[in-house]
Structure 1
Amino acid sequence: MDKTTVVNKYHKIPYDIYIGRGSKWGNPFSHMDSTKAEFKVESREEAVQKYEEWILTQPELMNDLHELEGKVLGCFCKPKSCHGDVLAKLVNELSIGKVACFTGHRPDSLFGYKPNTEGNKKLLWKLKYIIEDHIENKGVDTFITGMALGIDMWAARVVFKLKEKYPHIKVIAAVPCKNQHNKWIEESKREWQMIINRCDEVHYVTNEEYTKWCMQKRNEWMVDNSQYVIAVWNQGKGGTANCVNYAKKSNKEITYLNPNDIKEELNK
Structure 2
Amino acid sequence: MKTIAITGYKAHELGIFDQKHQGIRFIKKALEQRIRELVDDGIEWFIISGQLGVELWAAEVVIDLKKEYPHIQLAVLTPFLNQEERWQETTKLFYTEIINQADFVDSITKRPYENPTQLRLKNEFIISKADGLLILFDEDKPGSPLYYLDIAKKKQEKNDFPIILITPQDLDLLVQDEIHENPKNWT
Per chain length, whose mean CA-contact separation is higher, i.e. which structure has more relative contact order (CA < 8 Å, sep 6+)? Answer: 2
Tell me how large the CA RMSD over aligned residues is.
2.0
Q: How does 1:22-61 map to 2 (within 5 A)?
A: none
CA deviation after TM superposition for structure 1 residue 266, in Å: 5.5
Is the contact between residue 111 and residue 117 of structure 1 (CA under 8 Å) also seen in structure 2? no
Is 1:106 paired with 2:10? yes
- Quote the offset at 1:246 in angstroms: 0.6
Q: Which sections of structure 2, spanning at least 5 residues, go unmatched?
A: 180-187
- TM-score between both structures, scaled by the size of structure 2: 0.84
Per-residue deviation, 1:115:
4.3
Query: How do residues 229-248 of structure 1 correspond to structure 2 at under 5 angstroms?
Result: 229-235=133-139, 236-248=141-153
Deviation (angstroms), 1:182: 1.1
Post-superposition shift, 1:122?
Answer: 1.3
Tell me the CA shift for residue 109 of structure 1: 2.3
How many residue pairs match? The answer is 171
1:117 pairs with 2:26? no
Q: TM-score, normalised by structure 1?
A: 0.59
Asked if the contact 1:159/1:171 (under 8 Å) is kept, the reply is yes
Unaligned runs of 5+ in 1: 1-94
Which residue of the other structure, out of 58, 62, 73, is the alignment partner of 1:159? Answer: 62
How far apart are 1:110 and its partner, in Å? 2.3
Residues 105 and 233, structure 1, Cα contact 8 Å, conserved in 2: yes
How far is 1:243 from its partner?
Answer: 0.5
Determine if the alignment matches structure 1 residue 258 to structure 2 residue 167.
yes
**Is the Cα–Cα contact under 8 Å of residues 229 and 253 in structure 1 kept in the other structure?**
yes
Aligned to 2:34: 130
Once the two structures are TM-superposed, the CA of residue 265 in structure 1 deviates from its matched residue by 6.9
Q: Does 1:214 align with 2:118?
A: yes
* Higher alpha-carbon Rg: 1
% of aligned pairs identical? 26
Larger proportion of helix: 2
- The question of whether the paired residues in 1 share the 8 Å contact of 2:30 and 2:170 is answered with no
| Counterpart-to-counterpart distance in 2, 1:156 and 1:261 | 20
